[in-house]
Amino acid sequence: MNSPFKPDSIWSIAIHGGAGVISSTMAQEVKQQYYDSLKEALNIGVTILKIGGNATDAVEAVVRYFEDCDLFNAGKGSVFTREGKHEMDASIMNNTLKCGAVSGVTCIKNPITLARKVMDESEHVHMTGIGAERFADEVKVEKATQEYFFTERRFAQLKAAQGIKEVTLDHCKSDVNLNDPQAQVKGTVGCVARDMHGRMCAGTSTGGMTNKRPGRVGDSPIIGAGTYCNHLCAISATGKGEEFIRNVVGHDIAAIMEYTGASLLDASKTVVHKKLKPGDGGIIGCDKDGNTVLVFNSTGMFRGCADSNGKYDVKIWKDS
């Protein structure tokens, strides 16, 4: 077995919980809930990495926390489809190019864990709908009833979106908790990490869009779009899913690094600020040397990062 420590003992982690137009005038108690939740998620990953744990374990644990926290649009906090149901997506990938994804699952308590099972215990990369749910039974991944995923806040969002006949993103026009009718946050959660063995991993999970058509799939479970990891970097995205798919954002950042020698930061800025449109969203990433980036083109992104050099930061707005 490998030693849990490399000579350089480098580790790093970055997290996100959605990007978009986030009002700085939200109620202080709501703001504090988000900060506290981001810190708790970050601390879960830090605890694993600082003792030499595996990057994949850290990513899964962090995303599971987000999925269990109904502040974020994933797992328990997932938004409703136009039929009043929940369809969740998730994916995970490590630097050996092993990956797993699920989409359109309706009863999986933690979709990120099922995505990891697809990666580790199947011959496939991506499973959908009932097939993914049957696989969950085989590998003993916990399920939950529709009542578990029901929250009054998300149901109110659905009714508001249906009232204006609009498909909306998380924390949108109906988000009463942000006390701002113009708040628009692209609700996805994600984590990237680099551990002391130099292993990297990226994971992303989402409940999609309020009032979306049943069967709609965004970028979160699409390897190369919302999630990507190779020998150079790990990327997790949050934003307008269709745009991140069209621009193959995760893979594009890695390709720019590989073909031009650009740094993770420069490659990320090129894609987010020059290829995507203002307001589309953002990405988090880490590279093989332990550097982290959090780049977005919206007014804010729920985010945090930490590393073995003592960095520890949780932010929401650009100027915070």
Provide mean pLDDT across the span 283-301.
Answer: 96
Gap between the Cα atoms of 154 and 92, Å rounded = 26
Q: Considering the domain boundaries, does residue 138 fall inside one?
A: yes
Report the chain's mean pLDDT, rounded to a whole number: 88
Look at the block and give the residue holding tokens 């490590």: 94
Q: Considering the domain boundaries, does residue 120 fall inside one?
A: yes
Q: Considering the domain boundaries, does residue 6 fall inside one?
A: no
Residue 181 has pLDDT above 50, yes or no: no
- Mean pLDDT is lowest, of 34-48, 124-138, 205-219, 283-297, for 205-219
Look at the block and give the residue holding tokens 């350089």: 8
Helix (H, G, I), strand (E, B) or coil at 98: coil
Q: Considering the domain boundaries, does residue 19 fall inside one?
A: no
155 band by pLDDT with thresholds 50, 70 and 90:
low
What are 223-239's pLDDT values in tens digits?
A: 999 999 999 999 999 99
Tell me which residue of 306, 69, 95 sits closest to 177, measured CA to CA: 69
172 band by pLDDT with thresholds 50, 70 and 90:
very low
Which residue among 188, 204, 210, 299 is the active-site one? 188
Say which CATH number the domain at 186 has: 3.60.20.30
Provide the percentage of residues in the chain whose pLDDT is more than 90: 73
Q: Considering the domain boundaries, does residue 57 fall inside one?
A: yes
Provide mean pLDDT across the span 59-76.
Answer: 95
Neighbours of 278 (CB within 10 A): 9
Gap between the Cα atoms of 300 and 281, Å rounded = 9
| Contact present, 60 and 193 (Cβ < 8 Å) | no
Which pTM does this prediction carry? 0.90
| Contact present, 58 and 236 (Cβ < 8 Å) | no
What are 238-262's pLDDT values in tens digits?
A: 999 999 999 999 999 999 999 999 9
* 175, 179, 185, 189 alpha-carbon torsion, rounded to 10°: -80
Q: Is 204 a catalytic residue?
A: no
Range of the domain at 203: 24-309
Task: Determine the Cα angle at 182 with ends 177 and 185, to 5°.
Answer: 70
Residue 2 has pLDDT above 80, yes or no: no
Helices (H), the chain: 28-49, 55-68, 111-121, 129-138, 146-149, 152-163, 241-246, 249-260, 264-269
**pLDDT value at residue 160:** 58
Gap between the Cα atoms of 256 and 47, Å rounded = 32
* Domains held by the chain: number: 1
320 band by pLDDT with thresholds 50, 70 and 90:
very low
Q: Considering the domain boundaries, does residue 12 fall inside one?
A: no
Q: Considering the domain boundaries, does residue 316 fall inside one?
A: no
What tokens does 101 get?
């994804």
For 142, counting Cβ atoms within 10 Å of its Cβ (0-12 exposed, 13-18 middle, 19+ buried), the class is: exposed
Q: Considering the domain boundaries, does residue 68 fall inside one?
A: yes
Tell me which residue of 95, 86, 204 sits closest to 155, measured CA to CA: 86
